[in-house]
Structure 1
Amino acid sequence: MRNVILVHGFWHGSWCWSPITARLAARGIPSVAVDLDGHGLGARAPRSRWSVPFDPQTYATEPSPVAGITASSAAATLIEQVRTIGGGRPCVVVAHSMSGPVVTLAAEREPGLFAHIQYVSAFAPVSGHATADYIGLPENAGDLVAPLLAADPAVVGALRIRTDDHAALRECFYGDVEPARAEAAIALLSVDGPMGIPGEAFPVTRARFGAVPHSYVMCTRDNAVRPELQRRLIRELDAVSAAPTKVFELDSSHSPFLSRPDELTDAIETVVLP
């Protein structure tokens, strides 16, 4: 049985996978959720987040304490996590959202540790462009992440979000999540996603990354990574991979681990037990 490693996206933590780990366990599938560098127990918030009274100008300019994290450094951490959890044997790795570039780079560097990558509404930069280049593409028009930003990423070194506008956060990330659960998730969000992750471009080769089997879970009601951009990412994956991308479609917001946990577990089980 392959171990499943679940990697969250920006501003979240390993906590968001708890509905999935429980369901995988019920099906006899071992899984571990890990924290992306700069998140979860590794999150560090700017001091101005907690200032009383709150000063939005300082919050918009204070350098991020996680600004030094890059896709390369986060991939190095993930490689060690995969190696440890799998005991050196290949694992199935599930990547949500902005963990996509980290997982992609890790698989390019150590393809033998990856039995399968399943992207869940995730960025998968395999064309040589930085992930940040995809965010402003026409295919991503209408995304609701940009209105959440409280600072210029070039100034603070992070994608820093406001956490006071719960309605905007729900619409962006949790549009079909039960309201009480969405509120609980919002309370757990960190505020800084290291800009060095989407800002780093890296090469991806057919011989290394392209040899790793992969699939993609499309979220067709996603307001953070728009469906047309997801389709473009799938096409680009196909261009560098030995086999076509297996695609699952969920009628879901950006957070199917909270809104569609049974269906997402089905998709994961399909690639663990083909």
Structure 2
Amino acid sequence: MHPTYVLVHGAFANSFSFAPLQAELGLLGHRSVAVDLPGHGFAATYPAAYQAPQDMEGLASTPGAMRGVTLAENAAHVIRVLERAKGNGPVVLVSHSRGGITATAAANRRPDLIDHIVYVGAWCPVDLSVGDYHAEPEMADVDVAALGLAMAGDPAELGLLRVNFRTADTKALDAFRAAFLADGTDDEFRTFLNTFQPDENLDVGGDADRAQADTWGRIPKTYVRLAHDTSLPPALQDRLIREGDALTPDNPYRVRTLDSSHLKWLVDPAPAARVLAEVADGIDRSAR
């Protein structure tokens, strides 16, 4: 029985960003479900002040549906999807970027629902919490000020992160381009930027949400490195792989590499779809 791919998006993204990948998977004969985490997709808040002409004061103060959303709620939402998907056969849980934090939390809680877990340029905290990794040498060259250039409102007051992705500030746009899609065309960059939503939740978990050997560690796993990622640099991706392998030496990552920035693999999804198809083939062979 062919597996179902459950796809978990990253920060400020939603299920829409997986549409090209889902099309490619479908044409290869594979079934997939793209998740919208709480407060994302059609549940997102797009304040009227976000429209042109923008009202920056209103944008900075309008409440959002993402306020107070926790990592535990994100994980519970994914688990509900996994439970339904598991009724149709094997499940491959795929995450990107910040979505890896949610995928790891879900795998810690319900490893029985996941036949293979795949991280594509995604966070999988092992030795440290996500916040602590940001202070490590592997993140030294990451431009953490990029989002700050277009930040709207005070996260402590809003209870969420809000970024004006519709800004006309060329410095902010250049920083976004460098961080997300330096290997894409101008039109690809602007198109992807317009799929982003302005709000993201604040909770990235803590020590208790790091990968656990007795649960997460039982699941076969693949890490797809993004060779030109400047948001989650290859050096940190490699560190996460090493730490995961050290945690479960009898169940190491299967490692693949894509010639991609943080987002290019979603713009040009055929290589990623082929990698994911390899995972499905492995599950099919083991089931025979």
Verify same fold: TM over 0.5.
yes
Counting only pairs closer than 5 Å after superposition, residues 51-90 of structure 1 correspond to structure 2 as 54-55=55-56, 59=59, 64-87=64-87, 89-90=89-90
Alpha-carbon separation, structure 2, partners of 1:9 and 1:122: 8
Q: Which moved more, 1:86-95 or 1:216-225?
A: 86-95
Distance 1:137 1:37, change over 3 A: farther
- Structure 2 residue matching 1:121: 3-state secondary structure: strand
Displacement after TM superposition at 1:211 (Å): 0.2
Q: Given that residues 258 and 265 in structure 2 are in contact (C-alpha distance below 8 angstroms), is that contact kept between their aligned partners in structure 1? A: no
Q: 1:71: how far off?
A: 1.1
Structure 1 residue runs of 5 or longer lacking an equivalent are: none
> Structure 1's 239 and 67: CA in aligned 2 closer, same or farther, altered over 3 A?
farther
How far does the alpha carbon of each residue in 1:209-258 deviate from its partner, in whole angstroms, 9 at most, with x for none?
Answer: 10001111111111211111111111121122241111111121001433
Range that drifts further, 134-143 or 60-69 = 60-69
Residue type of the alignment partner of 1:106: A
- 1:244 is matched with 252
How is 1:19-168 mapped onto 2 (pairs within 5 angstroms)?
Answer: 19-45=20-46, 48-50=49-51, 54-55=55-56, 59=59, 64-87=64-87, 89-127=89-127, 129-149=128-148, 150=151, 153-163=155-165, 164=167, 165-168=172-175
Q: CA deviation at 1:190?
A: 0.6
Counterpart-to-counterpart distance in 2, 1:156 and 1:59: 11
Q: Distance in 2 between matches of 1:53 and 1:207?
A: 50
Relative to structure 1, is the Cα distance of residues 152 and 133 closer, same or farther in structure 2, using a 3 angstrom cutoff? farther
**Partner Cα separation in structure 2 for residue 78 and residue 107 of structure 1:** 10
Q: Which stretch of structure 1 is more off in the superposition, 254-263 or 22-31?
A: 254-263
Note if contact 2:20-2:267 (Cα within 8 Å) is conserved in structure 1. Answer: no
After the TM superposition, which of the residue ranges 145-154 and 98-107 deviates more from structure 2? 145-154
Of 88-97 and 184-193, the range deviating more from structure 2:
88-97
**Partner residue in 1 for 2:12:** 11
Match of 2:286 in 1: none
Which residues of structure 2 form unaligned runs of 5+? Answer: 283-288
The residue number in structure 2 matching 1:223 is 230
Q: What TM-score comes out, normalization by structure 1 length? A: 0.89
**Aligned partners of 1:16 and 1:258 also within 8 Å:** yes
Q: How many residues align?
A: 271
Whose radius of gyration is greater, 1 or 2?
2
Deviation at 1:134?
1.9
In the aligned structure 2, how far is the partner of 1:46 from the partner of 1:136? 33
CA contact (8 A) 2:11 2:99 kept: yes
CA shift in 2, pair 1:137/1:67, >3 Å: farther
Identity within the alignment, %: 34
- 1:45·1:65 contact (CA, 8 Å) conserved in 2? no
RMSD value, Cα = 2.3
Query: What is the Cα deviation at residue 110 of structure 1?
Result: 0.5
Instruction: Determine the C-alpha separation between the residues in 1 that align with 2:195 and 2:276.
Output: 25
Does the alignment pair 1:171 with 2:173? no
What is the SS of the residue equivalent to 1:247? strand
Task: Tell me how far apart the structure 2 counterparts of residues 132 and 74 of structure 1 sit (CA, whole Å).
Answer: 18
